Chain A
Amino acid sequence: MKKSVFLGALAVTGMIAGTAGAATLDDVKARGSLKCGSNSGLTGFAAPNANGVWEGFDVALCRAVAAAVLGDPQAAEFVPTTPKTRFTALASGEVDMLVRNTTWTLSRDVDLKFTFTGVNYYDGQGFMVPKALGVSSAKELDGATVCIQTGTTTELNLADFFRTNNMSYEPVPIETNAEAQQQYLAGACDVYTTDASGLAATRASFETPGDHTILPEIISKEPLGPLVRHGDDEWADVVRWTLNALVAAEEFGITSTNIEELAKGTDNPEINRILGTEGTMGEMLGLDADWAKNAIMAGGNYGEIFEKNIGESTPIGLARGLNAQWKDGGLQYSPPFR
C-alpha cells in the first residue's frame, strides 16, 4: 500500500516536472509539429470534415502558423478543448497556441497570463430564436429560457444585458455547442445565445435553418483571436506576424494562385519583404526566409480563408462586415512589414 502511494506520487511529480519550458518556438521545431487548441466542433471555424481532417476558419490560422514555422501546413495537430478546459490546456503547455473563438479581454490578457496576438474575427454576442416564437427584438425576451455555453464571456454579458434592461430570464448552462443545439431544437430553451458567428455556424448545421432567426441586437464586443502563453515573446511574435501576413497579403493582392508568380520578385518592396525575396524578416523571427509565403500558401490570404470557410458563398453565410480590410471600411489592418 505504502509503495503504491509512493509510486503514484512519483508519477504525479513526473507529470508536473514535464510541462513545457519557455521557448515554445524551439519546442515546436524540435517536435516537428504544432499543437493547436481548437474548438471541439463548430462548423466553419473548427471541425473535422468527413475524412476526419480538421478544417475551418480558426484551423486555417493554425495551419498557416505550422506552415510558417515548419514549412508544412499538415504539421498542425488539433487538440479539441471546451470553454472550460481551453485555458488550462494552454497554461499547462498541453497546446502551443489556442485558436478557439476566444474573446480578448483584459483579465484574460493580464490576470490569466496569456498574450493575445491579434484579432482574426471581430464578433459580438447575439441571440437566435425560432421564428415561430414571433420575437423580433432581444428586448422582448423577458422571462425567456436561455441556453448558454458555460465558462464563456457570453455568460457575463447575458447577465448584464438582462439586468440593465430590467428583464428576468432562466439560464440553462451547457457544456458544448452540440448539447446546446439539442436542447434548443427540442424547445427546452427559447433562445440560444453565443457569438453571432457561432450562431450562424450553428444555424447552418440545422435541418431547416430558415425556421430560425438571429435577432438584430449585438450585446457585446467579442474580438476573437489566437493566444499564447504570457512571457514567451518570440513565439507570440511568430503567431502575431503570421496573422498579420495573411491580412497584409489580402491588402496587397497576394493570393494562393498568384503567389508563386509574385515570389519571383515584384516592383513592390513590401510584397518582396513579405515573401522573403528582400530583407531578413524571416531571420528576425527565427524562421526561414519564405515563412510568410508558406503561411499564405497553406490556405490563401485572410480574405480567401474567410470566403472558403465562413463567407457568403458557404452555408454559414457571414458577411465580411467589421472583418473587411481597413480600406473597405473594416477593422482588419496589418502593421507594416518593414
Chain B
Amino acid sequence: MATTTDPKGGSFRLSMLLYDSRYRSATIQIVALIGFLILIGWLVSNTVQNLAELGKSVGFGFLGERAGYDINQRLLDYDSNDSHLRASLIGLLNTLLIAVLGCIAATVVGVIVGVLRLSQNWLVARIMTVYVEMFRNVPVLLWIVLSMAIMIETLPPPSAFRGEDPAASMIVSDSVALTNRGVYVPEPLFGRMDEEGAYTSWRHSLGDVHLFGDSPVRFDVSLDLVAILAILIAGLLVSGLVKHRADRIQNATGVRPRTWYWRWGVVVIPLLLLLWVLGFYLGKPELRGFNFQGGTHLRNSFIALWLALSLYTAAFIAEIVRGGILAISHGQTEAAAALGLRSRRIMSLVVLPQALRVIIPPLISQYLNLTKNSSLAIAVGYMDLTGTLMGITLNQTGRELETVLLTMLIYLLISLAISGAMNVYNNSVKLKER
C-alpha cells in the first residue's frame, strides 16, 4: 500500500525550502515580503533623494505659519491671521459636517426608496426604479455640479428682494430667504441685547466656555446648548422610566395605563421652561447692504454638495435595503402573519431585524464612499479638508508631499472611525451564535 505522507526524519537540506511542500509556501511568502519591502524602501529613498535634489526638505513646520486666507463656512471662529493648522481644522469640521448630514439624509432617503421599490403600487415602484437607475449610473461629480448650477441659475439673487416691488420675496412669514447664494433661515438666539450690548432682561444666555486658550484647536462650548442637551436627556430618561412602569403594570395586570401625556410632558415642559429662562427667540435674516444679514446662512455650495451626495448614495443604499428585505424568505412573513401579527409589526419584529444583518455590512462601505466623495467639494467651492489643507494651504506653502500625506492620513482615520463604529453596531444586530 502506497503512503502519501512526507518522509519523516532526515537532515534538513537547503533545497528543501523550494522542493519540500512543508516549507515551500513559507519560502515564497518570505521572498515576496522581502521584495515588497525593498520596493517600498526604494520608493521612499527615491522620493527623499528627488526632493533633496530639488532642495526641498520634508517638514510640517508650515502648519504653524499664518494662513492668510479666509474661509466662508466656519463652524469655529477663524480669521486670516490664524495658522494653517487652524484652517485645516475648520476644513476638517466642514468635511465631517457634510459626511454626517450626508449619511443621515442618504440613509433616510435610501430606506424609503428601497422599501417603496418593493411596493405593490406599479407607479410608485417604477418611479423609484427610475430614481435609482438615474442616480446610480451618472458620476457623482456631475450631480454635484448640476445641483450647484440649478441653485445658481434658478433662484433669485439677493438684489431681487430689494426695492418697492421686489421680484422675489421671503417665505414662511418672511423668515426664510431662498437665494442663489444659499438659504437664509432663522437662527436661535438667547436674550435680547440693547444698543450697548447689555441684556435687556434677567432672562438671557449663559454664555460660552472657552477651551484651549489661544491654541489652534481652541473652541467655544455654548453653555446654553449644554443645558438644553442635559434637560433633554434627563427628560428622555424619566420618560423611559414611565414606559418601564407602564410595561410592568401591563405585565402584572394586563391593562396598560394611559401614559402618553406623562411621557411627552416630562420632556417638553422642562425644555420649554428652560428656553423661556434663557430668553430664546429666533433671529430672522434681513436684507441689509449686499446680502441678507442675521439668521443662519446655508451656503449654496453646502446645499448642492449635501443634496447631490445624499441622493447619489441613497440610490445605492436603496438597492442594499431592497436586497436585504428580499433576502428574508417569504415564509417568515407568512409564519408571522399566521401568529396574528399585523403587517407593521411583521416588518419591525420579524423582517427588519433579520434584514439588517444583510444590510449593515454593505451600508458601511456606502458611508465610507460618501465621506470620501465629499472631497469633490472643491468643484462647487465648499471649503472642506481638500479645499483648505490640500487646496489653498498646499498652494500657498508649496508643500505637496506633506499636505497630501496628511490629508490621506486624516481621511484614513475618518474612514476607520466610521467602519469601527458601524462594526460595533453590526455586532449588536448580527445573528447571535451560541
Which residues of A are interface residues toward B (Cβ below 8 A)? 2, 5-6, 9-10, 12-13, 16-17, 19, 83-84, 87-88, 91, 107-108, 111-113, 132-133, 141-145, 150-152, 155-156, 158-160, 162-163, 169-175, 182-183, 186-190, 230-231
Contacts and interface: CB of A to CB of B under 8 A. Distances in A.
A155 B69 contact: yes
Given A172-B72, A187-B180, A188-B157, A12 B43 contact: yes
Given A2-B32, A143-B293, A16 B43 contact: yes
24 contacts: A87-B395, A87-B398, A88-B400, A108-B398, A113-B54, A113-B56, A133-B290, A143-B289, A143-B290, A143-B291, A144-B290, A150-B378, A150-B387, A155-B69, A156-B396, A159-B70, A162-B70, A163-B80, A171-B70, A173-B392, A175-B379, A187-B159, A188-B180, A230-B54
B378 A175 contact: yes
A295 B39 CA distance: 46
Contact of B398 (A17, A107, A141, A155): A107
> Shortest 3 CB-CB distances between A and B: which pairs?
A187-B157, A151-B395, A159-B80
Given A151-B392, A186-B180, A173 B152 contact: no
Contacts of A158: 70
A100 to B, nearest CB: 13
B425 interface: no
Contacts of B40: 9
A150 B71 contact: no
Nearest to B381: A173
A83 B167 CA distance: 37
Contacts of A108: 398
B381 A159 contact: no
Given A13-B42, A112-B398, A151-B395, 4 more contacts: A16-B43, A113-B55, A156-B80, A187-B159
A259 B364 CA distance: 70
A13 B157 contact: no
A322 B68 CA distance: 28
For A19, A108, A113, A159, the residue with the greatest tally of chain B CB atoms inside 10 Å of its CB is A159
B47 interface: yes
B192 interface: no
Contacts of B153: 186
B300 A160 contact: no
A173 B384 CA distance: 11
B387 A190 contact: no
Contact of B72 (A88, A142, A162, A171): A171
Contacts of A170: 72, 181, 291
A151 B152 contact: no
Q: Is the interface of B mostly helix, strand, loop or mixed?
A: helix
B391 interface: yes
B47 A16 contact: yes
Contacts of B289: 142-144
A187 to B, nearest CB: 3
B433 to A, nearest CB: 29
B71 A171 contact: yes
Contacts of A160: 68, 80
Contact of A230 (B46, B55, B157, B397): B55
Interface in B58-79: 68-72, 79
A231 B43 contact: no
A133 B288 CA distance: 14
Nearest to B293: A143
B152 A159 contact: no
A156 B46 contact: no
Contacts of A84: 391, 394-395
Given A113-B54, A188-B152, A150 B381 contact: yes
A173 B80 CA distance: 15
Contacts of B308: none
Contacts of A141: 290
A152 B395 CA distance: 8
Contacts of B43: 9, 12-13, 16
Nearest to B300: A188
A113 B54 CA distance: 7
B50 interface: yes
A16 B44 CA distance: 11
A169 B392 CA distance: 18
B11 to A, nearest CB: 32
Contact of A150 (B149, B291, B391, B397): B391
Contacts of A132: 159
A165 to B, nearest CB: 13
A120 to B, nearest CB: 22
B381 A175 contact: yes
Interface in B30-57: 32, 35-36, 39-40, 42-43, 46-47, 50, 54-56
B389 interface: no
Contacts of B54: 91, 113, 230-231
Given A13-B43, A155-B392, A145 B55 contact: no
A16 B387 CA distance: 26
Contact of B55 (A151, A162, A231): A231
Given A143-B290, A159-B68, A83 B395 contact: yes
Nearest to A19: B50
B42 A183 contact: no
Given A113-B55, A186-B152, A145 B181 contact: yes
A132 B158 CA distance: 13
B306 to A, nearest CB: 17
Nearest to B36: A6
A158 B40 CA distance: 43
A111 B398 contact: yes
Nearest to A129: B290
For A5, A170, A173, A187, the residue with the greatest tally of chain B CB atoms inside 10 Å of its CB is A173
For B69, B158, B180, B383, the residue with the greatest tally of chain A CB atoms inside 10 Å of its CB is B69
Interface in B384-426: 387, 391-392, 394-398, 400
Contacts of A2: 32
Contacts of B159: 132-133, 187
Contacts of B398: 87, 107-108, 111-112
Nearest to B66: A156
A328 to B, nearest CB: 36
Nearest to A187: B157
B212 to A, nearest CB: 24
Contact of A13 (B35, B46, B300, B391): B46
